A and B are shown apart, each in its own frame.
Chain A
C-alpha cells in the first residue's frame, strides 16, 4: 500500500481519538452532554470488564448461535431457490417480482410478525437472521446461474458430458464466486438482522446487553459492547473476503505490477438488501 495513504489513515485515527477526548473532557466540565462521550480509558476498562464477565460470554454465545443458525438456514434455502430460479425461467419469472419487492423492503417491518410467530426468545432472532441472509444470497446465486457464460455450457455438451458432469464440472465451479459473494454479504447483513431483533425484544444476546446498558445509562459498557460487535463483524468480513480472494486467486487478472487484484474493495452492501 502507498505510504502516504497509510500516513493519512493513521492521522485520521489519531484525529478521531483526539477529537473524542476533547468532547469527553468538555463533558466532564459539564459544557457538553455529560457522560454521553466517556473517556477512551473508561471504555477500554469497560471492555476489559466485559471480557472477564461470565454474562458477557453467555450473551455472546446466544448471539453467535442465533447468527449461525439464521445464516445457515437462510443461505441454504437461498442457494436452492437461487439455483431453481436460475435454471427455470418460469420459476424466475414467477418469483422474482416478489423477491425484488421484499428484498428492497426493510425487513425490520416483519419483526412484530416474527415475535408473534416465534416468541421473544432465540427462535425469532434466528428467523430474522435467516430472513436477512436469504436475500443477498438468493440474488447473487440466481444472477450467477443466469450469467454463466453460455459457451462453457456448449463446451460441456460438445465433450458429451452427462448431466452430473455438467453440474459438477461446469455449473458448480462457475457458481463458486457469485455464491461466496452472496454469502459474504449475507453474513454481514445477518449480524445486523439479529442485533436489531435483540435490541427490540429479547432476554439474552449482545443486542439485548447493549439495550440494557443503554436503558440503565451505563454509557462506557454500552460503547464497549458496540466496539466488540464492530470488531467481530469486521473480523468476520475480513475472513470471508480472504476466503473469496483465495477461491478467486486464479480468476483475477494480474495488474501491471504483477499484483493480483482482489475483491476486498467490493462494497455494495446496501444494493443487495436492506434490513
Chain B
C-alpha cells in the first residue's frame, strides 16, 4: 500500500517572551499508509495537539514537510478532515444540516447534499435523529454528528483529536466499535490523537508513542490483533500485553510531564 501521509522532519518551537522557548515537536518522521488506522499517544505536553494542527494545515510556521499523496500541505485543505475534542456541532443547525454543512460550503445543491448527509448519518447510527438539534442530543450523539459531518467532507485522511475524550468509558468503548465499523466500511485512513491507552489498542493498526518535551516519536508499536475487531478484544491476554507495553513506554514520559507541571505550579 502506498503511503498517503508523509511527515518529514517536522519541528515546531513556541517562543514565549518570558520563559524559555518550548520545543513542541522535534524531528518527527511518520508515514501512514492508505486505509491505515494509526493512533498517536502521549502525555499532556508531548506536542500531540501541535502535530494535529500541523497535519490539519492549521499551523504552517513549522520546520519540515507534510505531504499528502506527495503534495505538500499548505493551509487547511480538502484532503484532511478534522474532528475536534470539544463539542463542535453548530447549535443552530439540525443533525441533517450539521452533517450537510461541508457539502453546502462546496455548493452542492440541497437535494443531493441532504441525500449524502443521510447516508453518513446512518453510518454513524444517528438515523431517526436527522431533525434533532444538538441541544436535544447526548454528548456521544453530538460527537457522532461531528464525525458524520467530517465524513461527509470525504477527506483522504480523517484526523481525530480525542473525539470521545469527554465521554464516559463505556460510551467511549461503544463509539470505538462504531468507528471501527465506519473505518472498515469506507476504508478511511484515520489518525487518532489520544491519551487513552485502551482506546489506542482497541482501534489501531499502529500506535505511535510520543515523548514528553521535546515531542519526538519514542516508539511505534504494531498492534497485531485480529480484524475485524470489536471492544470485546479487551478480554484477550494479547490486548493486556499491548496495554502493558504501552504503559511501560508512557509511564516515564507521563511522570516527567507531571514533575514539570508541579514545578510550574510551585513556581507561581
Asked if A160 CB lies within 8 Å of chain B CBs, one says: yes
B80 — nearest CB in chain A belongs to which residue? A158
Asked if B78 CB lies within 8 Å of chain A CBs, one says: yes
- Residues in B whose Cβ lies below 8 Å from that of A251: 91-92, 133, 135
- Residues in B whose Cβ lies below 8 Å from that of A253: 135-136
Asked if B143 CB lies within 8 Å of chain A CBs, one says: no
Please determine whether B102 and A159 come into contact, CB atoms closer than 8 angstroms: yes
Contact with A along B63-104 (1 / 0, CB 8 A): 000000000000111101110101110111010000001101
Please determine whether A157 and B76 come into contact, CB atoms closer than 8 angstroms: yes
Asked if A161 CB lies within 8 Å of chain B CBs, one says: yes
Contact of B92 among A154, A159, A173, A254 (CB under 8 A): A173
**For the complex, what is the distance from the CA of A49 to the CA of B102, rounded to whole Å?**
61
Please determine whether A158 and B87 come into contact, CB atoms closer than 8 angstroms: no
The answer to whether A159 and B91 touch (CB under 8 A), given A154-B58, A251-B135, A254-B136, is: no
> In chain A, residues 245-275, which have Cβ atoms closer than 8 Å to a Cβ of chain B?
250-254
**For the complex, what is the distance from the CA of A253 to the CA of B136, rounded to whole Å?**
6
**For the complex, what is the distance from the CA of A157 to the CA of B58, rounded to whole Å?**
8
Nearest CB on A from B12, distance (A) = 18
Please determine whether B135 and A152 come into contact, CB atoms closer than 8 angstroms: no
Nearest CB on B from A179, distance (A) = 13
B102 — nearest CB in chain A belongs to which residue? A159
**For the complex, what is the distance from the CA of A40 to the CA of B102, rounded to whole Å?**
63
Asked if B105 CB lies within 8 Å of chain A CBs, one says: yes
**For the complex, what is the distance from the CA of A151 to the CA of B82, rounded to whole Å?**
11
Please determine whether B136 and A160 come into contact, CB atoms closer than 8 angstroms: no
Asked if A165 CB lies within 8 Å of chain B CBs, one says: yes
Asked if A169 CB lies within 8 Å of chain B CBs, one says: yes
Chain B contact patch, size range: 20 to 34
Please determine whether A151 and B86 come into contact, CB atoms closer than 8 angstroms: yes
- Residues in A whose Cβ lies below 8 Å from that of B81: 158
Asked if B56 CB lies within 8 Å of chain A CBs, one says: yes
Asked if A155 CB lies within 8 Å of chain B CBs, one says: yes
**For the complex, what is the distance from the CA of A239 to the CA of B242, rounded to whole Å?**
63
- Residues in B whose Cβ lies below 8 Å from that of A174: 92
Please determine whether B136 and A152 come into contact, CB atoms closer than 8 angstroms: no
Asked if A102 CB lies within 8 Å of chain B CBs, one says: no
Asked if B153 CB lies within 8 Å of chain A CBs, one says: yes
Please determine whether B92 and A160 come into contact, CB atoms closer than 8 angstroms: no
**For the complex, what is the distance from the CA of A165 to the CA of B76, rounded to whole Å?**
15
Contact with B along A143-174 (1 / 0, CB 8 A): 00000010110110111110001000110011
Please determine whether A250 and B76 come into contact, CB atoms closer than 8 angstroms: no
A172 — nearest CB in chain B belongs to which residue? B92
Contact of B105 among A149, A151, A161, A250 (CB under 8 A): A161
Q: Specify which of A154, A157, A159, A160 lies most central, judged by the most chain B CB atoms within 10 Å of its CB.
A: A159
The answer to whether A158 and B135 touch (CB under 8 A), given A152-B90, A165-B105, A169-B105, is: no
- Residues in A whose Cβ lies below 8 Å from that of B78: 160
Contact with B along A172-215 (1 / 0, CB 8 A): 01101000000000000000000000000000000000000000
**For the complex, what is the distance from the CA of A169 to the CA of B86, rounded to whole Å?**
19
Please determine whether A250 and B102 come into contact, CB atoms closer than 8 angstroms: no
Nearest CB on B from A261, distance (A) = 10
Please determine whether B136 and A155 come into contact, CB atoms closer than 8 angstroms: no
18 A-B pairs whose Cβ atoms sit less than 8 Å apart in the complex: A149-B86, A152-B88, A154-B82, A155-B82, A155-B90, A157-B58, A158-B58, A158-B80, A159-B76, A169-B104, A176-B92, A250-B94, A250-B135, A251-B91, A251-B92, A251-B133, A251-B135, A254-B136
On B, residues with C-beta under 8 Å from A are: 56, 58, 75-78, 80-82, 84, 86-88, 90-92, 94, 101-102, 104-105, 133, 135-136, 153
On A, residues with C-beta under 8 Å from B are: 149, 151-152, 154-155, 157-161, 165, 169-170, 173-174, 176, 250-254
Q: Which 6 residue pairs across A and B have the least CB separation, nearest first?
A: A250-B133, A158-B82, A151-B86, A253-B135, A151-B88, A173-B92
